[in-house]
Structure 1
Amino acid sequence: MAEYRHYAVPDPQWVDFPNNLPPGTIRHGLTRAHDPIAPQEGLDIGEFNVPVRDDASITLRSYRRASSGDEALPLFVYMHGGGFVTGGLETDDLTCRAIALETGIAVVSVEYRLAPENKFPVGFEDCFDILRWTSSLDGQSKLNTNLSKGFILGGTSAGANFTAGLTHLARDEGLSPKITGVVFLAGSFCHPDARPEKYLDRILSVDEINDAPGLTRKSIDFFAGKYGAPPTDKRLSPLLFDSHANIAQKAYFAICGWDPRRDEAILLDQLLQEVGLSTKVQIYQGLPHGFWGTCPDLPASKLWLEHLIEGMRWMIE
């Protein structure tokens, strides 16, 4: 959207990345790592496998505040980013820990299968099977959750893309209990070649932002090719669903201003508001796609985490 172009004026620290970052800034790249769990005081963290279709099983990492004891908690089902081809349980481990510790929400992070070894729709279907399992009596018992307190689905980048598609399909199939909240962190919601004509003048950033670190149109096309989803498939391009009503009660957006995916997220927020969802939005001017994961110790990244924790608390109010 033309009126949002000012959000793409780069933050000076991120120009000529990484040369202008403060000395000693920690930088993280995306990997498929799966390391042993590092214990943390105040948290109970565990892993277990859940069967899904194709005789496969998916590993979940669960996080609970230790002081919650036997209390049944609200649940946040989280899916990592990585363009559908990389990322894993370590990618957002620190974020999942912070949410569980600071909010008292139970968190499960999903180690879905990745492309190109497992092309579309394998990763999406893994996450759908896990979502169904978490809503089941068996899942609620295993996780010790009370979904009437909150049943939240979310993710970063590719994980946010999954979130949008899954919530629409869960609504359409009558998933019960219903999803109460959705969390979109640097999300993508439509393949650039499948943008509806009525929104062409509202999704400009994917064509205009080609100088940001972390994500460009070239890398978007690269990841899409590896993933292998048809551009017009609604599971990849959930903006194509006829209605966005009743996918949840609340939606939280973290939008990066210097990100080719910016305008899709701003548009989806507006569409959700139009159909009655309550939304909270944070737009980070001049910051690139998923900056908080790349450099988690920068002040902007710490502020992002503060905002996210506030948003998660709002989800269960």
Structure 2
Amino acid sequence: MNRDRLEIVPQPELNIHEFDIPARDGHSICVRAYKQSGQIDLPLLMYLHGGGFITGGLETDDVSCRALAAQIPVLVLNVEYRLAPENPFPTGLEDSFDVFRWAVSHGSSQLPINLQRGFILGGTSAGANFTAGIAHLAVQEGLAPALTGLLFLAGSFCHPDVRPEEYRDRILSVDEINDAPGLTRKSIDYFAAKYGAPPEDKRLSPLLFESHANLAKKAIFYVCGWDPRRDEALLFVELLKEEEIDTKAYVYPGLPHGFWTTCPDLDVPKDWQRDLIEGVRFLLE
């Protein structure tokens, strides 16, 4: 999960390249774009990697980004946002939002994309948390074109200390699951301290936004059963359905947080990757 800076490994059927997008403070945000060779006028999937806000990079989910681009006519944009503790909250979120704004205002003139054909925002773990926050902020700002799809992979949506009282009996896994590999309440608290976001800040705890309406037309969730973050994801599924967002969820009983990244040698990540392809196709239908 450490940030690696590796040369791009070529893949015959794909065009993969990196370029920089300016952040609000002048920092250059590196992004990696993937698409099938020769394809133009593509929908966009902007992808935010996981790593607890303090680790991860372009290599963390490179395999998944390649698989999506190779099997679906879509341009995938993998974002290298800055990490805490060197760059604490809200730097990583703002980097990601700056790339989102760039895609809305300049993307179609600089990439072979057409946001009217599809505009998906998604990510894993911390990246899914950013996704929820940015989707809400984009609605508040009235950014257009609007998102058409949301992709949540092992997402977190509320700091455990500020769970709304009306949902407290529906978010139990963060207290109950303390034996899972990779993520427990202890490690959640460790990551949160390094990240430095106030628990009640809605950009960290998007479950606290007053409304979840109009975030996108569709949403897809991938929920790990042996994950302390499980219950808040299952709750968010239902809240989006209540807003008439066409929402589906894949649930993986007995599997830990982000198992497709942390346990890649198991057989089940292959099944998950098929589910991922199926889910993104659903978002683009």
TM-score by length of structure 1 reads 0.89
Shift of 1:196: 0.4
Does the aligned pair in 2 maintain the 1:46–1:63 contact within 8 Å?
Answer: yes
Measure the CA separation in 2 of the matches of 1:266 and 1:80.
Answer: 21
For residue 55 of structure 2, what is the aligned residue in structure 1? 86
Residue 21 of structure 2 is aligned to residue 53 of structure 1: no
Q: Which runs of 5+ in 1 are unaligned?
A: 1-29
Amino acid in the other structure paired with 1:79: L
Aligned residue pairs, count: 285
Q: Match of 1:39, SS? A: coil
For residue 24 of structure 1, what is the aligned residue in structure 2? none
Measure the CA separation in 2 of the matches of 1:216 and 1:67.
Answer: 44
For residue 5 of structure 1, what is the aligned residue in structure 2? none
CA deviations on 1:6-29 (whole Å, 9 max, x unpaired) are xxxxxxxxxxxxxxxxxxxxxxxx
Task: Identify the match of residue 153 of structure 1 among 104, 117, 121.
Answer: 121
Shift of 1:245: 0.6
CA deviations on 1:101-151 (whole Å, 9 max, x unpaired) are 101110000000000000000000000110000111x22121211011100
Q: Match of 1:107, SS? A: strand
Shift of 1:72: 1.0
Measure the CA separation in 1 of the matches of 2:238 and 2:70.
Answer: 31
Measure the CA separation in 1 of the matches of 2:46 and 2:218.
Answer: 15
Residue 5 of structure 2 is aligned to residue 34 of structure 1: yes
For residue 193 of structure 1, what is the aligned residue in structure 2? 161
Measure the CA separation in 1 of the matches of 2:110 and 2:5.
Answer: 22
Residue 124 of structure 2 is aligned to residue 118 of structure 1: no
Amino acid in the other structure paired with 2:42: L
Amino acid in the other structure paired with 1:313: R
Task: Identify the match of residue 237 of structure 1 among 205, 226, 239.
Answer: 205
Task: Identify the match of residue 259 of structure 2 among 291, 294, 299.
Answer: 291
Amino acid in the other structure paired with 2:195: Y
Alignment of 1:63-82 (within 5 A): 63-68=34-39, 71-82=40-51
Q: Which runs of 5+ in 2 are unaligned?
A: none
Residue 70 of structure 2 is aligned to residue 101 of structure 1: yes
For residue 96 of structure 2, what is the aligned residue in structure 1? 127
Q: Match of 1:113, SS? A: coil
Q: Match of 1:253, SS? A: strand
Does the aligned pair in 2 maintain the 1:42–1:67 contact within 8 Å?
Answer: no
Superposition RMSD on alpha carbons, in Å?
A: 0.7
Q: Match of 1:304, SS? A: helix
CA deviations on 1:56-95 (whole Å, 9 max, x unpaired) are 1100000011141xx2100000000000000000000010
Between Structure 1 and Structure 2, whose CA radius of gyration is higher?
A: 1
Q: Match of 1:220, SS? A: helix
Measure the CA separation in 2 of the matches of 1:139 and 1:272.
Answer: 28
Percent identical: 64
For residue 191 of structure 2, what is the aligned residue in structure 1? 223
Select the structure with the greater relative contact order (CA < 8 A; seq sep ≥ 6): 1
Amino acid in the other structure paired with 2:113: T
For residue 262 of structure 1, what is the aligned residue in structure 2? 230
Measure the CA separation in 1 of the matches of 2:281 and 2:109.
Answer: 23
TM-score by length of structure 2 reads 0.99
Measure the CA separation in 2 of the matches of 1:61 and 1:225.
Answer: 29
Amino acid in the other structure paired with 1:214: G
Q: Match of 2:88, SS? A: coil
For residue 282 of structure 1, what is the aligned residue in structure 2? 250
